[in-house]
Structure 1
């Protein structure tokens, strides 16, 4: 090699070394032009991740590989289970289904998000309908349904909330970035969650890079009008529990420091059982930092917080005995059996009851999932990634199991996730809607014959 070529090669290598060294220095000190390259990198990363899943809904988190060939109701001990209907949502469509104890569909509410969306929605360019599902639904006595839409292929993934009548017609819509969960107050108001990107720095927490998803607690009127919107992110930053932000630092690159996933509005009986707080406070779970807090919406402050024996949990709720029941997604820490349900005392973190499945039927759902303590003392569990609902007794006997019968894929290897299973006492429904369900069930039985 000629000396001139050697000199040129050394020069190029020296320049590359200087650029590499400068890049490291810029990354460590975060001086200009770090923000430009950082935001460009994150935007490219998000675009790449979205492009991977835009091809097929089967590669989003709305579908999982089926663990069993069983379908429908596989266990049914009518004498020990809590009577009633079961409502849940499913990743296969923009749908909520109401089934009986034998797994027969009594009623469906189904409306594609494309028919919900308007140009005033917070999401400007929604994903295709097969990449969206109803994350949570709540049945009203008259047969109407409150439902939250989210996308399996977008950020922010919250797409809004609707009230549908019994024929799936829109009564009202609230198209902020609503996500994850909702609860109703004693007077019919709706408490829910929204999130949105912000470029506004978090005062006192300079290590939280912008932009990030800011989480909000929102209260709606019974007809879907926004009454209040409070930043949970900034309430936490101003509270004694703000240092918990540091627990989420590895996640900041994904824009989501808190990932709030639960709201549980507490009435007078809940507060009396819990022993602290006041009626109207809201129990909130911040999954990313494993922090459960009690929020006073009127005073706009966090009045209590706790980190306990759980990991990435969902759906904490206050029980009549003052304990808290939740789905602990990763707290069981066993291969293919990572999840459990726990009931614990919030005063001393003592676990009073737990359930992690039964032989051959473990609990394993790293994300989503819900629990409900039933009137007879049993517990209804939605194991989302397993695509199933189970009911267990206090002595941990499985008395009911429903596995989604829906499959997809070339070999029927995929099952849709289930979300938000809830047992409903027919007596709580209006007589007219109960009669409609009975008529529909009779008609389906006739058609089947």
Structure 2
């Protein structure tokens, strides 16, 4: 009886002490306006801006992909965890865009001596359009095709209607034909006049790659429970999305589909699936690249027709043998929520590390054999660099690196020394006082003289 009473008194004392400590720190936080007071105050201000007196959400943009501008985020002095938590909260649909977008528009930096002179294919979240422009931002050509013009009577009640209103990715052929992805709906091929050539109704998403044999490799997915996926760290009562690699011929006819989860389960890398935490989109594949095998003597796992894939939710890049449907190599632990890995001519891998730089982004070039970081770009205080989701990067022929900072509507080119020699801000804005800036899904640099039809079109005008 006495022991029971003593325990009750001890628990009561501990609880009272914790309550007093919490109250005291709360008062200290308010008086000194430090953490977490600043986050709570800031979110409350945003809530007041967003909700009308009736309590309904103000709708400023009903279509396209629009994001917040980094420049006004009140993240100075936050810890990495606080910055990431704030980024997640402000990524909610009803908070997106409630920051003043940067005044800069179009091309803001162009160092003609140091930049790689070429043409830029811009895939923007403002609508179902892709634009080809020169280095100074002059529009040379554009493609447009609305979802309803491709699939006029298609109904998909379980898919996000927003993804009908912009293109997630595009691939430009030398003759002016264009492949575009309506995320989660399908893949469409247009000619240079935007006339429809064919459409593939698959759950295509994020990325595609056209190989030298003209076959098209595109990410897709299916919703199910995989009976082979039995993990110690994770279990699912309901079906989930599994990523697929779908192979189409040049006419858009499906040839084969490969399940990415099964590729891991068929290999020695199956334990990497223990990193799965997400309940819906368990791997979240976001990029693919077919390998040409030119470096196989140096990198035997990177054989021709193997595919390099990025899996966001388990922070992993992997190489898959599509014939054996087996993972041949994989690497994780050096980045968070990465995008766009590519194999460079020197045998290194370049990728966009979204949140592995103390909660911010960086570009990493890594030796896949010894995992040494060969080069990195993290931005500077004057030119911050962060895209919580999405983003692309590519190594240009002159050694510079092209970076698309998707969420902030910005693309830029940097030298090996980190100097910005070309910069572009998406000019598409909307919302009250242009608070919303359209996402840049991708900006791809092409050779200046790659498209003969451009010069022919110019002569005909």
Contact kept, 8 Å, 1:161 with 1:175, in 2: the verdict is yes
The corresponding residue for 2:117 is: 83
Contact kept, 8 Å, 2:293 with 2:302, in 1: the verdict is no
**Displacement over 6 Å in runs of 4+:** none
Q: What CA distance in whole angstroms lies between the structure 1 residues aligned with 2:397 and 2:57?
A: 41
The corresponding residue for 1:6 is: none
In the superposition, relative to structure 1, how do residues 307 and 205 fare at CA in structure 2: closer, same or farther (>3 Å)? same
Shift, 1:94, TM fit: 1.0
Query: Which residue of 356, 363, 367 corresponds with 1:341?
Result: 363
The corresponding residue for 2:67 is: 63
Alignment of 1:21-420 (within 5 A): 57=61, 62-65=66-69, 67=71, 68-117=102-151, 123=156, 128=161, 132-150=165-183, 158-205=184-231, 207-209=234-236, 210-249=238-277, 251-252=278-279, 255-272=280-297, 274-334=299-359, 338-420=360-442
The corresponding residue for 2:95 is: none
The corresponding residue for 1:22 is: none
SS in structure 1 at match of 2:255: strand
Contact kept, 8 Å, 1:191 with 1:218, in 2: the verdict is yes
In the superposition, relative to structure 1, how do residues 191 and 131 fare at CA in structure 2: closer, same or farther (>3 Å)? closer
Q: What CA distance in whole angstroms lies between the structure 1 residues aligned with 2:444 and 2:295?
A: 19
Extract unaligned runs of 5+ from structure 2. 1-55, 72-101
Q: What CA distance in whole angstroms lies between the structure 1 residues aligned with 2:447 and 2:313?
A: 34
In the superposition, relative to structure 1, how do residues 112 and 61 fare at CA in structure 2: closer, same or farther (>3 Å)? closer
Q: What CA distance in whole angstroms lies between the structure 2 residues aligned with 1:361 and 1:347?
A: 32
Listed one character per residue, the Cα deviations across residues 179-212 of structure 1 (whole Å, up to 9, x for unaligned) are 0001111111111110121144344337331310
Q: What CA distance in whole angstroms lies between the structure 2 residues aligned with 1:66 and 1:203?
A: 39
TM-score between the two structures when normalised by the length of structure 2: 0.76
> How many residues get paired?
374
Shift, 1:129, TM fit: 6.2
Extract unaligned runs of 5+ from structure 1. 1-51, 151-157, 444-449
Listed one character per residue, the Cα deviations across residues 31-67 of structure 1 (whole Å, up to 9, x for unaligned) are xxxxxxxxxxxxxxxxxxxxx9995646985433363
TM-score between the two structures when normalised by the length of structure 1: 0.78
Listed one character per residue, the Cα deviations across residues 274-296 of structure 1 (whole Å, up to 9, x for unaligned) are 34332100001111001111111
Shift, 1:378, TM fit: 0.5
Listed one character per residue, the Cα deviations across residues 274-329 of structure 1 (whole Å, up to 9, x for unaligned) are 34332100001111001111111111111111114111000000000000000000
Listed one character per residue, the Cα deviations across residues 94-137 of structure 1 (whole Å, up to 9, x for unaligned) are 1111111001111111111122226678x457655686321111
State the superposition RMSD in angstroms: 2.3
